[in-house]
Structure 1
Amino acid sequence: MTAIKPIYTNDVITRKEGNLVSDMAGEKVMMSIASGKYYNLGSTGGRIWELIAEERTLEELIETLAMEYDIGPDECREQVISFLEHLSREGLIHISSGV
């Protein structure tokens, strides 16, 4: 498994090119063209995938998702970071240091 760096509040997250994504029964499923792997992002993961179509900081993601899903910011942060770390290990996203 590939080691990843910690994700900080001002880090900018974007998705990498080369993935095919489709909606299936309200959930997003994706295939990585590079690896041939399939992923079920689910509905919340699919929403995160939509949001990172454009550059977003971790903080922007947390604020948006906490409001949309009526969840506390700390719990949201924990879950979003865990999901982003998985995407990063799979080589599906870019994480760059924020200002």
Structure 2
Amino acid sequence: MTTPEPLTPGSLVGWHPEQVTAAVDGEVIVMGLIRGQYVGLDDIGSVLWTLLEQPRTVRQLCDDLGRRYQGDPATMSADVVAFLEDLRALDLIEVLDAAPLSDP
């Protein structure tokens, strides 16, 4: 099994087609059908998950969160990438495309 390429700001990500999402007691729960594992998402994780219903680049996700929440942009970016990598490892999201690094 090969290691996937790391996510970049231009990576286009979206929901994996083999997952199920539900709201339970105000929390978003996502279950991956491939692995049979699920995760419960907190407030910010739920916002990111909702944004991913329509594929977006990592940069777009970071920009959107930056408009919603205050924080150090570099820290927010690192946290978003780490969160997305965790979701990808569970087959809850997939990389649909990767734009060049020079993409504005």
Q: Return the TM-score normalized by structure 1.
A: 0.87
The count of residues paired between Structure 1 and Structure 2 equals 99
SS in 2 for 1:49: helix
| 8 Å contact kept, 1:13–1:57 | yes
List gaps (5 residues or longer) in structure 2: none
Instruction: Report the counterpart of residue 98 of structure 2 in structure 1.
Output: 97
TM superposition shift of 1:26: 3.0
Query: For residue 39 of structure 1, what is the aligned residue in structure 2?
Result: 39
Q: Which amino acid aligns with 2:50?
A: E
Residues 13-32 of structure 1, C-alpha deviations (whole Å, 9 max, x = no match) = 11111222122333211122
Q: Structure 1 residues 26 and 69 mapped into 2: Cα distance closer, same or farther (>3 Å)?
A: farther
Q: Which runs of 4+ in 1 moved over 3 A?
A: none
After superposition, the CA RMSD in angstroms is 1.9
Question: Percent identity over the alignment?
Answer: 24
Alignment of 1:71-86 (within 5 A): 71-86=71-86
Q: Calculate the TM-score normalised by the size of structure 2.
A: 0.83
C-alpha contact 1:29 1:42 (8 A) present in aligned 2: no
Alignment of 1:67 with 2:70, yes or no, is no
